[in-house]
Amino acid sequence: MEARRYAACLMAILWAGFATADDQLNVVGAFDVRWVHSAGELSYLDGGLGTLRFDPDHEGLRLGRAFMASRLRLSDIVTLHTVVDAYGDHDRNPVDLSEFWVDVRPFPTNAIRWRARVGAFHMPVSLENRGAGWSDVYSITPSALNTWLGEEFRTIGAELEVRWLGASSGYLGDVALIAAAYAWNDPAGALIADRGFAITDRPSTLFGGLGRPPITFYHEMDRKPGYYAGLTWRRHDRLEIRALRYDNRADPGASTAAGGGAWRTRFSSFGARLEPTTRWTFIAQYIDGDTAIGAESLGYDQFLMRYHAAFGLASLEWGRERLTARFDSFGTHQLRGFFGPPSNETAHAWTAAWTHDFDDHWQLVTEWIRVLSRFPPRSLFAQPSSLPETQTQISARYRFQFGGRAWGLIGGLQNN
Amino acid sequence: MSHTVSSGCRRLGASGRSAARFAIATQHFANKIAFSWLVALIGATGCSAGELAVTVVDRLGQGVSEAVVTVAPAVPRAYRQSAATAIMDQRDLAFTPRVLVVAVGTSVEFPNNDTVSHQVYSFSEAKHFQLPLYKGVRHPPITFEHEGLVVLGCNIHDEMVGYIYVTDAPFFGKTDSGGMLNLQELPGGDYRISVWSPIIADPSQTLIHNVHVDQHETTTSRIQLIRELRARPEPRPRRTDWAY
Ligand SMILES: [Cu+2]
């Protein structure tokens, strides 16, 4: 058995070697080790009510994230994308798949370009997570809004994009319409109803869970597919505006034999990213929606919660440095339902981050986050309902690429 | 990017034809690529040529750099198709140069000096093509047989935009940082100057100017734009870990 596994590994490595030779396989990855200092309450990841990833019981030297994002070219227009993650935090699978999708992108023959994605992937909402493997390029931890999208959502289905290539035919930039149908997203909403928003760089993986006891997110309970539809306008990569409507169309009365219920979750999302000069980036995003569980016939006993989150970010980049400041504001409001005190959360947070690139591989990121939140369920644990939490992280990140840098040099020499 | 234009002049015997040879040496980053082409001017006599200095300025009088300037005789003549070559490179997720001006018939090579793949395409009327640029795979150059503007895109990186301006004018170039372009070895006569740039918003009919070039003399032409320039469309330089 072991021998067979090693043989399979060897085959995979050999195949990867051949595939990278003509750039058929491209892999980027990174791992980061952090020193963490925390002043706050126990993180929800460890069974507490804290909104940050680490807490005073989980400080010191920690693995932040190790990931590999690969792109395998199957043909000129078809590529297979895979993101594999390890967070080193006792998740069910120490190494797990986060995204896995096939991208089909025919060459445009006129100003309309079609594109399809089929598989499991993040919906196109976050304007912060633009790095390989959905990593945040402005700081370590994305905003509360995008943290939540990474935690509870993955499009497991198909997405179609039709883009008017204005930039290639005029000067107004591109306009894209996006629509997706998906399944296996019925538990989405469970986490925000239970805990409110959080600010972590710990998205869920496809087969893992979050919290104690862990909540798992990718199940189908009512055999009803969900959808999202969105609009993107991009002007010369200097301004990007996105709007999206999400509705998982879950039947809130449906549940599984295992006891999990379906959460009907819907939201509207808006975002804009402005890059007026080569140095400055400004991002603002807003989300507003609700989630419900329990059959409609329960009336006022059905649990129904509204939520909203917004943030504004400014980032300045020069040479090997990047400075980012962000203000988050978020809250939940329970409209109906009966369990416990109303889990209304009102919170805001400040984030400051400094990124320094030593070279193409090594990066040092220092991040400070302070969250001030009011969350009445804390009273059940004999805590004041309003609490500040602070987390400081210094992360050393090593990034690697194959089918890239080394081969790029050879390719460059060949081309000249 | 700077262009230095040097010229030689040569009599072609009693046939009354003369040929002007232009050699444009382009400093292309680490590599020096020299290319030249031959234009045969039919009907011009002798080797008595003039010079034309074109300046393109915006509404406030500031020079407009990287503007394409083409100069064609007012009375059209026949020219041999160019057999020149040129390079449109890919660097830091951008077409380099952003704007390339070539004669009709020029073959353009598309190397890829990035660590990522590109898939260049154009659906412009002057040239339809699709060109996957994978690492370590060389592609034959693409020949541009028809005049017109060819807008380049990348199917992987939607923010990449480049332009190849294909002209049948015998004299052309791009303005320098001061908005200047010097053209030499023009036979005396009437010419039509056309200006183009992705950032120039003026209507195209106002961007055509007639000029008379005297033999042995330097004629200057100053073209002032009437509309405000558009924002430069180039994308920001991207860090490599942002794309793959
Ligand atoms: Cu590209």
Residue B219 has pLDDT above 60, yes or no: yes
At A400 the pLDDT is 86
Amino acid at B108: V
Determine whether domain B80-169 maps to CATH 2.60.40.420: yes
Q: In this structure, what token pair is assigned to residue A149?
A: 């999208």
Confirm if A233 and A240 have CB atoms less than 8 A apart. yes
Candidates A27, A174, A411; nearest CB to B136: A411
pLDDT band at B22 (very low <50, low <70, confident <90, very high): very low
Under 8 Å between Cβ of A298 and A269? no
3-state secondary structure of A368: strand
Residue B28 has pLDDT above 80, yes or no: no
Domain ranges of chain B: 14-44, 50-77+174-238, 80-169
Mean pLDDT of A44-61: 92
Distance of alpha carbon A93 from the chain centroid: 19
Two structure tokens written together for B233: 């469309």
Q: In 10 A of CB A300, how many CB atoms?
A: 9
The proportion of chain A whose per-residue pLDDT surpasses 90, expressed as a percent, equals 61
CATH architecture of the domain with residue range A2-6+26-411 = Beta Barrel (2.40)
Query: Residue A185: which pLDDT band, with cuts at 50, 70 and 90?
Result: very high
Look at residue A393 in the predicted model and tell me its pLDDT: 97
How much is the average pLDDT of A369-391? Answer: 89
Residues in a beta bridge with A368: A352, A392
> What separation in angstroms does the CA of A55 have from each of A48, B21, B117, B129?
9, 74, 42, 56
Residue B195 predicted with pLDDT over 90: yes
Q: What average pLDDT score do residues A365-377 get?
A: 93
Tokens of A343: 């889990």
Q: Choose the mutation target among B112, B158, B163 for the interface with A, i.e. most A CBs under 10 Å.
A: B158
Distance, in Å, from the CA atom of B52 to the CA atom of B211, rounded to the nearest integer, reads 9
Residues of B with CB below 8 A from A164's CB? none
What pLDDT does residue A236 have?
A: 72
Q: Give, as residue ranges, everything with CB less than 5 Å from ion ligand 1.
A: B 118, 154, 156-157, 160
Per-residue model confidence as pLDDT tens digits over A305-324 = 999 999 999 999 988 899 99
Q: Give me the pLDDT at residue B6, please.
A: 34
Judged against a pLDDT cut of 70, whether residue B39 lies above it is answered with no
Establish whether domains B50-77+174-238 and B80-169 are of one fold. yes
* Distance between Cα A31 and ligand 1 center (Å): 26
For the cut 70, the answer to whether the pLDDT of residue A54 exceeds it is: yes
Enter the pTM of the model.
Answer: 0.82
For chain B, the straight-line distance linking the first and the last C-alpha, in angstroms and rounded, comes to 28
The token pair that represents B236 in the structure block = 């920001």
Report the complex ipTM: 0.75
* Torsion of Cα atoms, B126 then B132 then B136 then B139, to 10°: -30
Q: Is B167 on the interface with A (CB under 8 A)?
A: no
Q: Does A132 touch chain B (CB under 8 A)?
A: yes
Locate the domains of chain A by residue range.
2-6+26-411
Specify the CATH number of the domain B50-77+174-238. 2.60.40.1120
On chain A, the residues whose CB falls within 8 A of the CB of B138 are: 414-415
Whole-angstrom distance, CA of residue B10 vs CA of residue B47: 7
Could you give the percent of chain B with pLDDT greater than 70?
73
User: Could you give the 3-state DSSP secondary structure of residue A166?
Assistant: helix
**pLDDT above 80: residue A300:** no
In this complex, how many residue pairs, one in chain A and one in chain B, have their CB atoms less than 8 Å apart? 124
Tell whether A111 lies on the interface with B, counting CB pairs under 8 A.
Answer: yes
- Per-residue pLDDT band at B229 (split at 50, 70, 90): confident
Lowest average pLDDT, out of A248-252, A362-366, B226-230, goes to B226-230
B34 CA → ligand 1 middle, Å:
26
Judge whether residue A106 has pLDDT over 90.
yes
| Residue range A252-261: mean pLDDT, rounded | 75
Inter-CA distances, B175 with A407, B57, B146, Å: 36, 10, 23
Q: Is A340 helix (H, G, I), strand (E, B) or coil?
A: coil
Residue whose C-alpha is closest to residue B142's, from B113, B117, B111, B106: B106
Please state, in angstroms and rounded to a whole number, the distance separating the CA atoms of residues B168 and B190.
17
Q: Strand, helix or coil at A130?
A: coil
Q: What is the DSSP string of chain B?
A: --EEEEEEEEE-GGG--EEEEEEEEEEETTEEEEEEEEEEESS--TT-EEEEEEEEE-TTS-B-TT-EEEEEESS----PPP--EEE-EEETTEEESSEEEEETTEEEE----SSS-EEEEEEETTEEEEEEE-TT-----EEE-S-EEEEEEESS-TT-EEEEEEE--SEEEE--TTSEEEEEEEESEEEEEEEE-TT--S-GGGGEEEEEEPTTSEEEEEEE-SSPPPPP-PPPPPPGGG--
Q: Which residue has the higher pLDDT, A259 or A213?
A: A213
Stretch A204-233: mean pLDDT: 92
Tell me what pLDDT residue A341 has.
Answer: 64
* pLDDT for residue A103 is more than 70: yes
pLDDT category of residue A343 using cuts at 50, 70 and 90:
confident
